[in-house]
Amino acid sequence: MLRINYLHGLAANFRNWNRALKFLHSLHQNKRRTPPTKHKFTKALKNPMKPFDVEPKVYMRDTISNIYKILKYSTWESAETQLKQLPIRWDSFTVNQVLKTHPPMEKAWLFFNWVGKVKSFKHDQFTYTTMLDIFGEAGRVSSMKYLFQQMQEKGLKIDAVTYTSILHWLSKSGDVDGAVETWEEMRGKACFPTVVSYTAYMKVLFDNQRVKEGTAVYKEMLQSGISPNCHTYTVLMEYLFGAGKYEEALEIFSKMQEARVKPDKAACNILVEKCCKAGETWPIVQILQFMKENHLVLRYPIFLLALETFKAAGERDALLRQVHPHISVECIDNERVVEYKGNDFEAPSSLDRGLVWVLLKKLNLQAVDSLLTELMDKNIKLDSELMSAIVHVNCGHCRVAGALLAFKYSVKTGIKLERTAYLALIGCLIRSNRFTDIVEIVVEMTSTGHSLGVYLASLLIYRLGCARRPTCAAKIFDSLPDDQKCVATYTALVGVYFAAGTADKGLKIYKTMGKKGIYPSLGTYCVLVAGLEKLGRVSNAETYRKEKKSLQKDAYFRESIPMEEKICDLLFARDVVS
């Protein structure tokens, strides 16, 4: 009976505990959960387990790096001993990765022969191809051919990668015929080229002015169902830019994006460098616009080259700065060190040259001016490279007087400046609105054998027209060689006279152009129509507007347009007369 009562009491207590627990559970749901805390005191184990001595895991990249350091920094006798002690199993992948780290060529060859004698290892097509590549890069063509012959004698598989490497290095060594024979051998053995093979061979042909063959290879690649990659398009555009076919190159630049192949950073750098060497700025602007939209930047040396090209052409470099906000142009101007190659490794030999060089390097330009004045009075002659550097630095710091002093010194002493120095001086004078001095610069530049080029000449004449300087523009036009007196430069001169308000002189130049057998382009008619309408000669303007429409209809049936017409249309195919 006592036991039953005890059990009833226990059940009642259990019900009360259960209610309390439910209440506590509801409290816990509303409370923030806190991580469990460790107990301060823990019971120590009587026999704690001792940790095992586990060796750290060694990754393959660390092993390859270690072997590279052994080959590079040790003598071969020491390296051979260390290689034998390494606890690794030599296989094709490991050997190939070691060779691809490009150790010194002699060590790479000794390692190649040593590992070939290791038991249970045999060289295959991959290790042979990498060693071929090392010899080719070092210019050891005979050794490369020897290895290729060994591959053939041993019956190793020779694939497109091997053939591509060989033809690339043969071309680099100047053996273009050997590269062509390698390609024909590859095709004769039914070894199917990859997109890399096609691209490499196209570059060989285009770089050596075998344009028809290169075009045929490109068509063959397309017919075989292989799609061009970014490198293929870059090779095509690089050739077109080098040949002055800027419109065709930019058309490819646009179409490759439509094919979902975006130009990469390397492609943009190559193309901008090509344009800079040619002194053309308008293609650079289009490439920079793409780079801005896709967050690409130029390499620092190419950026400096583009900056100098814009300055030499007298054009704004705002877009270039927007694409490269991380580069401070002011710091470049302040910190730039003038390069001087000269005859020696360091400073020029004579005392006067050495003094000018030191002052120029420290940007003490006023002292350079004083020294040049003294040297000019004494008729002491410096060299062309140093004088060109003085012009560049003065123009970069907007010191027109200093740049003109260097120019006058070069004229008096008979020094021929570099073409870029003349262009930099012309750009500086345009920005300073000193147009009368430009004529003297252009005449001297032409007399020394340098050429403005059709694009820059047309742009300069047009710029003088905007400044209402028809006399200066006419003198520059007259100083041009005959092959540059084309539709673009004639159109620029016509626009000059319209801008000056003398329509009769403009029409006279237009008729002279026709007598010379130079046909007007779309840009010519745009200048004529806009200029005549502005001067109130509406009936004449209507006549040329009809001729313009007729030309536009005929343009669809023309197979090719000369570069001079393209430049003219680019500059003037809009209302440019102001």
When pLDDT is averaged across residues 288-312 and rounded to a whole number, the result is 90
Contact in structure between 310 and 316 (CB atoms under 8 Å):
yes
Number of H helices, E strands in the chain: 31, 0
Amino acid 149: pLDDT: 92
Termini Cα distance of the chain: 122
Q: What is the pLDDT of residues 513-548, one digit of tens each?
A: 888 888 888 888 888 888 888 888 888 888 888 888
- State how far the Cα of 144 lies from the Cα of 166, in Å rounded to an integer: 8
CA distance 157 to 220: 25
The count of other CB atoms within 10 Å of the CB of residue 73 is: 11
Residue 74 has a CB neighbour count (10 Å cut-off) of: 15
Give residue limits of the domains in the chain: 483-578
- Predicted pLDDT of residue 49: 52
φ/ψ of 393, rounded to 5, equals: -65, -45
Grouping H, G, I as helix, E, B as strand and the rest as coil, residue 458 is helix
Q: Find the range with the poorest average confidence among 149-158, 226-235, 256-265, 374-383.
A: 374-383
Q: 241 near 275, Cβ under 8 Å?
A: yes
The Cα 366–Cα 390 span in angstroms is 12
Contact 365, 394 (CB under 8 A): yes
Tokens describing residue 456: 């820059």
Spatial distance between the Cα atoms of 249 and 246, rounded to a whole number of angstroms: 5
Of 112 and 21, the structure prediction assigns the larger pLDDT to 112
8 Å CB contact between 238 and 278: no
Residue range 555-570: average pLDDT?
72
Q: Looking at residue 558, what is its pLDDT?
A: 60
Asked which of 26-35, 269-278, 452-461 is least confident by mean pLDDT, the reply is: 26-35
pLDDT digits (tens, 9 = 90+) for 210-259: 999 999 999 999 999 999 999 999 999 999 988 888 889 899 999 999 98
**pLDDT at 69 > cutoff 70:** yes
pLDDT at residue 338 above 60? Answer: no
Render 40-66 in DSSP notation, one character per residue: S--PPPSSPPPPP-PPPPPPHHHHHHH
Q: Taking phi first (over 0 means left), then psi (-120 to 50 degrees means alpha), and beta for anything else, what does residue 132 get?
A: alpha
Sequence letter at residue 47:
N
What pLDDT is recorded for position 328? 60
| Residue in 248, 242, 252, 318 with CA at minimum distance from that of residue 280 | 242
Helix, coil or strand: residue 34: coil
Q: How far apart are CA 519 and CA 231, in angstroms?
A: 39
- Predicted local distance difference test score (pLDDT) of residue 330: 47
**Would you place residue 273 in the very low, low, confident or very high pLDDT band (cuts 50, 70, 90)?**
very high
| pTM as predicted | 0.51
Which candidate, 519, 518, 505, 508, places its Cα nearest to that of 554? 519
Rounded Cα distance, 347 and 342, in Å: 8
CB 272 within 8 A of CB 298: yes
| Model confidence at 209: pLDDT above 60 | yes
547 contact partners, CB below 8 Å, separation of at least 6: 520, 525
What digits encode the pLDDT tens for the residues 86-139?
Answer: 888 899 999 999 999 988 888 999 999 999 999 889 999 999 999 999 999 888
pLDDT reading at 42 higher than 70:
no
Q: What are 349-377's pLDDT values in tens digits? A: 456 677 778 888 888 888 888 888 888 88
**How many CB atoms are closer than 10 A to CB 537?**
15
d(CA 89, CA 96): 13
Contact yes or no for 391/404 (Cβ under 8 A): no
Q: For position 339, what pLDDT does the model report?
A: 46
Residues in the chain: 578
> What is the amino acid identity at position 404?
L
Can you tell me the distance from the alpha carbon of 406 to that of 453, in angstroms, rounded to the nearest whole number? 24
336 pLDDT above the threshold of 50: no
Alpha-carbon gap, residue 106 to 394, rounded angstroms = 49
- Percentage above 90 pLDDT, the chain: 28
pLDDT greater than 80 at residue 327: no
The whole-angstrom separation of Cα 313 and Cα 322 is 19
The Cα 212–Cα 207 span in angstroms is 12
What 3 state SS string does 258-311 have? Answer: HCCCCCCHHHHHHHHHHHHHHCCCHHHHHHHHHHHHHCCCCCHHHHHHHHHHHH
Q: How far is CA 362 from CA 334, 337, 343, 367, in A?
A: 10, 9, 21, 10
* pLDDT value, residue 332: 56
- What mean pLDDT comes out for the span 154-162? 91
In whole angstroms, give the CA distance from residue 168 to residue 37. Answer: 68
Is the Cβ–Cβ distance between 529 and 548 less than 8 Å? yes
User: Over the range 177-195, which residues count as b (16 or more CB within 10 Å of their CB) and which as e?
Assistant: ebbbebbeebeeeebebeb
Q: Is the four-CA dihedral 262, 267, 269, 274 of positive or negative sign? A: negative
Mean pLDDT of 325-346: 50
